[in-house]
Amino acid sequence: MSRITLSFVISLLIALLGFSGCGGGDESIESLLDVRNPSVVNNISAYPSYKRVRLTWVQSTDSSIIGYNVYRSSANSGGFTLISSVGQMATPYFQDEGPDNDSDGIPDGLTNNITHFYKVTAFDKTGRETPLSLAAAVSAIPGQLPNNSANLAVSNVNVYGGRNEIYVSWDRLDHENVFGYNVYRSVSSGSSGFELIGLTPKNQNSFVDGGLSPFESYIYQIAPAVSEIDTVTGDRLSTGLLEGRRTESHAARTKDNDSTVPKPPSSSPTSNPMQASKVSQNGREGVQIQFSRPTSNTDGTIIADNDDIVSGGYIIYRSGVLLSEYKIIGIIENPGSQPNVSFFDPWGTVTDYYKVKIGDNFGNLSDASDIVSISSNVPPPTVKSLNATSGQGFGSIEIAWSESVSQGQGIDSYSVYRSESLNHGFAPIAHNVVDQDPDPNFFKYTDTSAALNIGTTYYYKVAAIKSSLESSLSAATAARPGPANGIRSLEGENAVKFDSYIAGATKIARTPPDQRPQYWPTHFDTQHIGLPTPFSGNGVLWIRPTKGPGQDITLGERIDLSWQVDIQALVGSEGTGGTISADVYMSSLDDNTTGQYRILIDDREIDRNRAPGQSEIIPFNGIQAEVNFQDSTFSTPLRPTRRLLGTLIFENINDYGNVNHPIGQGSNFAGTETVWMSIIHTGAGDLKLDNLYLVIH
């Protein structure tokens, strides 16, 4: 007998191995040997309602399970008949609404006050099913919902599809037995039917469904949930969450193919402000809020009457506490092009607060509008008509806005916020700012912070303050430090460097017989140090003296720098002479290693054979300044120090063809001017030169 058994096993294995070599897949050895049926479905619960029963159970963790079969019987001992199959879902359930006795395609309901028994089995992709004999039976007795609530249903379901999320709202039911609302969703391309995805409290008539695909369309149904039914004996039985009628299906989809974001409702300077008032509609007293359609997007583009918010939606929020969480209470679908909109909240009170967002047809949702309430304890309106321009002073930005929002609003003050990014990072830079505009209808603030970097764009927002409450931040505006025109930046690392000495003289470190100081090479080492913004260019020029000043060198060691400035771009090629003046600002990195220097700047070469101011060959009438660059209080991150050195006069501009010109008589127009700078070491320490700024008058 053992020989026969062994031979049979070997033959079976050879057959199986041969079969697996011909393709494998679902028909592999592992598949053929797996003869197990799906495991038993756990935690089946039955919730009776009027003429129907809702069944729920725990989703199987077996990845091969693709659905469930639902059986019903009038007896616990047997007679179970398959009544439906449902697909795999995160929160599986089935609602038995009885047989279709009249064959009209609509279930006619179960018989109330009779016990119905149910079993649920799982099946996999090969068709194997949990043995029905192993499935546990549960029972339920459909009954009458209390207070004639058999056909309880919500109305006015609205949806809005945003980016990867969909907003759903409905009218709240005024019924004492409503416990909450069940939210169901179905994917239009799927076959698993509607899935229960949420349960909201009875006072929350909205749901936000997130993590969705822009390539699918989603269908939503809402059903009110109650917690009691009447039994045949007249007793009230608490049976869990029972359902009223579901709403008709309402479909929506997410979007993701447009980048323009609308401004909030009532954001236009010419639009009607947000308002809240107490009104009565259909015998119900509540709160009506009014607002206006935005007229532009955040990028400044105009929203026309036929723009993409025509088929978008308004989303209305309410909170009972000013600074608490706001819940969605309504959605206005397809708002069209009407300029003014109203929304009635039958549940609103004088102590409630409201705000509104608008979304366009591409899922872009605006920021929230101003907060309104019948109560007077609300933040002031958002500042409108904000505009930033390059300031008249060097390195400054002017921010101005209309004060029309403060007329009758009791605005106490304003706060100004700044960022180097349009979308984030706004930090307050000024509170209780003083108005610099004499016009009472406008407010102006000038940002003169030394942290502003020439050539960098800065973004600003403003908030109004009233009774210690701050408004929402305004829309952003942007500008670069001024003045708007006529700034030339001479980068330290781009300078042409010269050693100062007397040509052909012997290198002796002493004062010559004529008592005029001499400058001998090479007294300085120079090096470029790369630094990020806010330093201009790509870093600073590090100037290090090889020895300090002494008696032999009366005015210390000296190095000369020069830059070419494009004057033609400022005065044009057809000018007839004259002068241009420029304020000269010096930007440097000051720390505890930097020292004291004498700075000389001119539009002509500074005589390198004699002391500045003593030369009879090249007269000096430029800028002289003595600066101590040492800063023992510096900290990281490193920032440049900017200081005004004086005003430089460029003489005889575009006058090189004049025979009376002291230099280059009869020459043609020169498109550039040279700026000369002498740096004389007069105290211990080095110098880290960022750049020179020429602010042309």
User: How confident is the model at residue 430, as a pLDDT?
Assistant: 94
User: How confident is the model at residue 9, as a pLDDT?
Assistant: 44
The superfamily (CATH) of domain 45-143 is: Immunoglobulins (2.60.40.10)
Residues with Cβ within 8 Å of 400's Cβ and at least 6 positions away in sequence, in order, are 386, 387, 388, 389, 437, 442, 443, 444, 445
Which has more pLDDT, 70 or 633? 70
Q: How many whole angstroms separate alpha carbon 365 and alpha carbon 210?
A: 14
**622 with 603: CB under 8 angstroms?**
yes
User: How confident is the model at residue 269, as a pLDDT?
Assistant: 82
User: How confident is the model at residue 628, as a pLDDT?
Assistant: 95
Side-chain half-sphere exposure of 109, counting CA atoms within 13 A: 15
Is pLDDT of 30 > 70?
no
User: How confident is the model at residue 116, as a pLDDT?
Assistant: 95
Closest CA to 373 of 518, 497, 274: 274
Name the token pair of 676.
């000369």
Mean pLDDT calculated for residue range 584-599: 93
Residues with Cβ within 8 Å of 607's Cβ and at least 6 positions away in sequence, in order, are 615, 617, 618, 620
Instruction: Please report, for the chain, the start and end positions of each structural domain, with discontinuous segments joined by +.
Output: 45-143, 147-252, 387-483, 488-696
Which has more pLDDT, 520 or 91? 91
Helix, coil or strand: residue 617: coil
Q: Which secondary-structure segment (H or E) carries 8?
A: helix 2-20
Is pLDDT of 613 > 70?
no
**309 with 356: CB under 8 angstroms?**
no
Which has more pLDDT, 17 or 693? 693
For the chain, percent of residues with pLDDT exceeding 90: 39
User: How confident is the model at residue 536, as a pLDDT?
Assistant: 83
The answer to whether 147-252 and 488-696 have equal CATH topology is no
Closest CA to 643 of 626, 655, 660: 626
Which has more pLDDT, 290 or 611? 290
Name the token pair of 530.
């790369």
Mean pLDDT calculated for residue range 681-693: 89
Which has more pLDDT, 494 or 521? 494
Mean pLDDT calculated for residue range 74-96: 90
**27 with 16: CB under 8 angstroms?**
no
Is pLDDT of 73 > 60?
yes
CA 501 vs CA 333, 436, 521, 539, 610: distances in Å: 82, 52, 6, 29, 9
Question: Lowest-pLDDT range, 118-122, 137-141, 423-427, 650-654?
Answer: 650-654
79, with CB counted inside 10 A (0-12, 13-18, 19+), is: exposed
Mean pLDDT calculated for residue range 200-205: 93
Q: Which secondary-structure segment (H or E) carries 569?
A: helix 568-571
User: How confident is the model at residue 681, as a pLDDT?
Assistant: 82
Closest CA to 263 of 477, 462, 475, 478: 475
Pairing, β 540-545 against β 558-566:
unpaired
Mean pLDDT calculated for residue range 100-113: 86
Q: How many whole angstroms separate alpha carbon 452 and alpha carbon 612?
A: 34
**669 with 565: CB under 8 angstroms?**
no
- When pLDDT is cut at 50, 70 and 90, the band that residue 169 belongs to is very high
Mean pLDDT calculated for residue range 324-342: 94
Q: Which residue's structure tokens are 């033959």?
A: 11
Q: Tell me the one-letter amino acid at 21.
A: G
Q: How many whole angstroms separate alpha carbon 373 and alpha carbon 505?
A: 87
User: How confident is the model at residue 485, as a pLDDT?
Assistant: 64
- When pLDDT is cut at 50, 70 and 90, the band that residue 689 belongs to is very high
The length of the chain, given as a count of residues: 697
User: How confident is the model at residue 26, as a pLDDT?
Assistant: 44
Question: pLDDT digits over 616-662, tens only?
Answer: 667 788 999 999 999 988 888 888 898 999 999 887 665 444 434 34
Mean pLDDT calculated for residue range 451-477: 89
Is pLDDT of 145 > 60?
yes
* CATH class (in words) of the domain with range 147-252: mainly beta
Is pLDDT of 307 > 60?
yes
Is pLDDT of 34 > 60?
no
Beta strands per DSSP E along 80-213: 81-87, 93-96, 116-124, 138-140, 158-161, 165-169, 178-187, 195-201, 206-210
Backbone φ, ψ for residue 403 (5° rounding): -95, 10
User: How confident is the model at residue 50, as a pLDDT?
Assistant: 78
**223 with 194: CB under 8 angstroms?**
no
Q: For the chain, give the mean pLDDT.
A: 81
Q: How many whole angstroms separate alpha carbon 640 and alpha carbon 255?
A: 46
CATH architecture of residue range(s) 387-483: Sandwich (2.60)
Residues with Cβ within 8 Å of 630's Cβ and at least 6 positions away in sequence, in order, are 590, 591, 592, 593, 594, 595, 596, 685
User: How confident is the model at residue 232, as a pLDDT?
Assistant: 55
Mean pLDDT calculated for residue range 393-408: 75
**184 with 220: CB under 8 angstroms?**
yes
Q: What is the DSSP code (8-state) at residue 267?
A: -
How many other C-beta atoms lie within 10 A of the C-beta of residue 347?
15
How many other C-beta atoms lie within 10 A of the C-beta of residue 138?
18
Mean pLDDT calculated for residue range 492-502: 76
CATH number given to 488-696:
2.60.120.260
Q: Tell me the one-letter amino acid at 468.
A: S
Q: How many whole angstroms separate alpha carbon 528 and alpha carbon 547?
A: 20
Following CA atoms 401, 404, 408, 410 in sequence, which dihedral angle do they give, to the nearest 10 degrees?
Answer: 0
For the chain, percent of residues with pLDDT exceeding 70: 79
95, with CB counted inside 10 A (0-12, 13-18, 19+), is: buried
Mean pLDDT calculated for residue range 419-436: 91
**377 with 322: CB under 8 angstroms?**
yes
Question: Lowest-pLDDT range, 7-21, 119-133, 606-620?
Answer: 7-21
Mean pLDDT calculated for residue range 196-202: 89
Q: Tell me the one-letter amino acid at 366.
A: S
Mean pLDDT calculated for residue range 280-305: 90
Name the token pair of 28.
């592999």
- When pLDDT is cut at 50, 70 and 90, the band that residue 27 belongs to is very low
CA end-to-end span of the chain: 115
Q: What angle do CA 69, 75, 79 make, to 5 degrees?
A: 55
Is pLDDT of 546 > 90?
no
How many other C-beta atoms lie within 10 A of the C-beta of residue 439?
11
Question: What's the pTM value of the predicted model, to 2 decimals?
Answer: 0.61
User: How confident is the model at residue 445, as a pLDDT?
Assistant: 95
User: How confident is the model at residue 555, as a pLDDT?
Assistant: 47
Residues β-bridged to residue 187: 218
Q: Tell me the one-letter amino acid at 481.
A: P
Question: Residue 236's Cα: distance from chain center in Å?
Answer: 52
Q: Tell me the one-letter amino acid at 387.
A: N
Q: How many whole angstroms separate alpha carbon 385 and alpha carbon 349?
A: 32
Q: Which secondary-structure segment (H or E) carries 568?
A: helix 568-571
Question: Residue 223's Cα: distance from chain center in Å?
Answer: 35
Is pLDDT of 77 > 50?
yes
User: How confident is the model at residue 258, as a pLDDT?
Assistant: 72
How many other C-beta atoms lie within 10 A of the C-beta of residue 361?
18
- When pLDDT is cut at 50, 70 and 90, the band that residue 427 belongs to is very high
Written as one string, the DSSP assignment of 172-185 is: PP--TTEEEEEEEE
- When pLDDT is cut at 50, 70 and 90, the band that residue 578 belongs to is low
